[in-house]
Structure 1
């Protein structure tokens, strides 16, 4: 059996599409890849029964090009406990959403020279002159588990939703960077940040909504919120202890996530809606 769903949205035409396939038996990888080709979706999630002595289901994610180690929106469409290449993951229902728990990531600030290279790529992608002011407020490379990610905060005045970048230029950041997470503070009440995610080197010009990107994005904005409160002489806002922040992805399809960061255990929780689009049975 399979279901096609949109993660992090209530809209039939929003969020990030994914297919979940419930396997009764293990299938060879070449068959899984052929099923992928038939669906032609950003991600296909294969759920296999628990192994003897375990209560955790098996979970594998396949993009149209290869198997991936972790996929936030592909986990979000399920409500089970899993073993995966990224360890034990959980997805469960909360009152009106689905909640997934993922490892929290860290970023390592780019050096001055690395930042200049990143700025040059951004200027080319946005069609801007180097004579203009830099749009970058922070650039940091992903730490353990997220080595191929780059998180870049741009000025709030950039209005990310209106960007029409020449995405191919972001591929110039490879091989170190394969997934580019561009984020900014939001001017909208109740929204902590707005984000877009690009991965042209992986064959994904823009990811509609990326859950794993918020393994970096969530902790980053939680730390910023706490730092701002400290600078203002205020007590902790508990942003590093599970206080939710609303993160909005402003791609064409768009999506909404509520992120909780737990610094003591280095985990995050992502809450969001799931829209079921279709269901069916595979005749293999």
Structure 2
């Protein structure tokens, strides 16, 4: 029988952050079995790890939501890395994901923290028609957007449409057309929408609808956090070296904190957070 561990990522409290399933040895499991296990677990993602010798502390990792496989998942990466660190000790790990190689470092002082290093990110323009359809599915209007942070599609292992709300109240009031948004996202290969509100130059509140994965909202989204760091750098809204603090899950009653670091000599994005067993 396959052992599934359960961790909450980007929190020090198992009642907060984003729950993830973790299978530390998925040897012999095919995609259908992984999808079935992820559906049974019911979290937004479950990570399936297989040792990748001959390199020490390297693992092939696949990520499944209850409805689909995703190329990369940040919170399940943090959860899996902390679970490994608790069993084999802190230090450096290498996760070989469908999106590419993701180095992860686990620090073991106090509550374990993991820092992942994204694959090379990129940011793209998005058409006015696509923005209008996304807003329609959300029940937002163009006036609800912050003109200083224009819509973009950002990628750091998975694709996310970034939409910035003009007010905290607009972000807090999230009630969207699940089927319409899922169809929009599926047609454009989007994993989540990264909805953000800027509290100050380095502090943001974020929310991530995830209907394509069968989940109304993701409580803490590391892949989208990495993409958002690339988005801000691309716009010139932050300049490395910089550290951003993202608050997510507050409106769901599962508060979490994601720390996003941009370094001047590295195009990749670093995302850090703690994780605890559930």
TM-score normalised to structure 1 length: 0.77
Question: 2:152 is paired with a residue of what secondary structure?
Answer: strand
- Cα-to-partner distance string for 1:4-25 (whole Å, 9 max, x where unaligned): 0011112222111111112173
**What RMSD, in angstroms, separates the aligned Cα atoms of the two structures?**
2.9
Aligned to 1:209: 220
> Which structure features the higher share of helix residues?
2
Matched, 1:100 2:112: no
Partners of 1:100 and 1:89 lie apart in 2 by 7
Q: What SS does the corresponding residue of 1:171 show, helix, strand or coil?
A: helix
Map of 1:155 onto structure 2: 166
Give the deviation of 1:171 after TM superposition: 3.4
Distance in structure 2 (CA, Å) of the matches to 1:38 and 1:117? 34
Tell me the residue number matched to 2:248: 249
- Is the alpha carbon distance of 1:276 and 1:227 closer, same or farther for their aligned partners in structure 2, counting shifts above 3 Å? closer
Q: Which residue of 2 aligns with 1:5?
A: 7
Q: What is the deviation of 1:159?
A: 4.5
Q: TM-score, normalised by structure 2?
A: 0.79
Name the count of aligned residue pairs: 256
Cα-to-partner distance string for 1:183-227 (whole Å, 9 max, x where unaligned): 12015xx95111111132342221121111112211233456x65
Unaligned runs of 5+ in 1: 229-238, 278-284
Equivalent position of 1:192 in the other structure: 203
Query: Secondary structure in 2 aligned to 1:266?
Result: strand
1:60-139 mapped onto 2 (5 Å cutoff): 60-79=62-81, 80-94=93-107, 95=109, 97-110=113-126, 114-115=127-128, 117-119=130-132, 121-122=134-135, 125-126=138-139, 133-137=143-147, 138-139=150-151
User: Does structure 1 residue 34 correspond to structure 2 residue 32?
Assistant: no
Alpha-carbon shift at residue 271 of structure 1 (Å): 1.2
Provide, for residues 157-193 of structure 1, a one-character-per-residue CA deviation record: whole Å limited to 9, x for no partner. Answer: 5441343344444336341253211112015xx9511
Show the counterpart of 2:84: none
